Amino acid sequence: MVGKVPILSSNPMVIFIFLCVYLVFSFHLGPWLMSTKKAFDLRPYMLISNALIFGASAMGIPLAMYLTSWARIPWMCPEPVINPSLLMTQIYLGAAFFLIQLFTAITTTTFMILRKKYNQNPGLDALRTTAIIFLVYFGARLHPRGPFLFRPICEITLATIRRAYYILMAPGQSFRQYSSMKYFINYLTLLSGIVNTIHISYLFTRDCPGDKNIKLIALFTTIVETCYLTLKLALKKGHPNEKSKEE
């Protein structure tokens, strides 16, 4: 079935090289090229990009809920008996859809680099996106159930809320007056990281089916993200007058 989904049947080295180039561009090459140039005003293009990502994410929520029986299947151990052929078809198509949406979201990192906002870190944004792409791509190839299913559900839900916020408040709006909504999204993301950490830990303690390496990658990425968001929110608490981060 993997062979019928082009994005999953591609040589893993192609994905690996692409992600390495993406990280190098985000951490070093992009900021270096922009160091001597003025920031670009990309708000009209951002509005279009956010609308496209919002639409893709919003359509992905019912698909993910259908594939996982309202997110119950990822928590079941042992996994429920489902028609294998039907399940594989649904999961692979869902994974392909999610990966395409993530590759589209890479434009966000490019916008961060071109706009040169002091309070945005394109490298960290790229690192987070890379971790999720890596997890979903290899999770779908090795064991398209269990550990890697719950994270995409949380991600598309967060992406839908986040993009809706950006669309409603931009361009031309003052983001500072909507800082409470921004904090809500940050805390929701933190909650997602905590729940995902609990989810993978639960799979380990119950010795549930699934590739051990994928579980470890999922656990590591969620713990790192949770720690990073906790630190970020703690620092913001100490600087109440800091401008809200603007996309």
> How does pLDDT run along the chain (247 residues), one tens digit per residue?
555 666 666 778 888 898 899 999 999 999 998 988 888 888 888 888 888 888 888 887 887 787 777 877 777 776 666 666 666 666 666 677 677 767 777 888 888 899 887 777 888 888 888 888 888 787 777 765 655 678 878 888 888 898 888 887 765 555 556 667 778 888 898 898 899 888 888 888 877 777 778 778 888 888 888 887 887 777 666 555 554 444 4
Close Cβ partners of 52 (under 8 Å, ≥ 6 residues apart): 104
pLDDT at position 228 is 78
Alpha carbons within 13 A on the beta-carbon side of 188: 15
The rounded distance, in Å, linking the Cα atoms of 180 and 64 is 29
Long-range contacts of range 201-208, CB-CB < 8 Å, 24 or more positions apart?
Answer: 202/75, 202/77, 203/77, 203/146, 203/147, 206/77, 207/77, 208/77, 208/78, 208/79, 208/146, 208/147
The rounded distance, in Å, linking the Cα atoms of 141 and 135 is 10
CA dihedral defined by 235, 237, 239, 243, rounded to 10 degrees? Answer: 100
Between helices 84-115 and 122-142, what is the axis angle to 10°? 170
In terms of Cα–Cα distance, which of 115, 104, 131, 127 is closest to 245?
A: 115
Instruction: Name the CA radius of gyration of the chain, rounded.
Output: 19
The rounded distance, in Å, linking the Cα atoms of 107 and 76 is 35
Q: How far apart, in Å, are the Cα atoms of 139 and each of 45, 142, 165, 225? A: 33, 5, 30, 19
pLDDT at position 87 is 63
The rounded distance, in Å, linking the Cα atoms of 231 and 229 is 5
pLDDT at position 142 is 72
pLDDT at position 247 is 46
pLDDT at position 24 is 93
pLDDT at position 89 is 66
Q: How far is CA 165 from the centre of its chain?
A: 16
Number of H helices, E strands in the chain: 9, 0
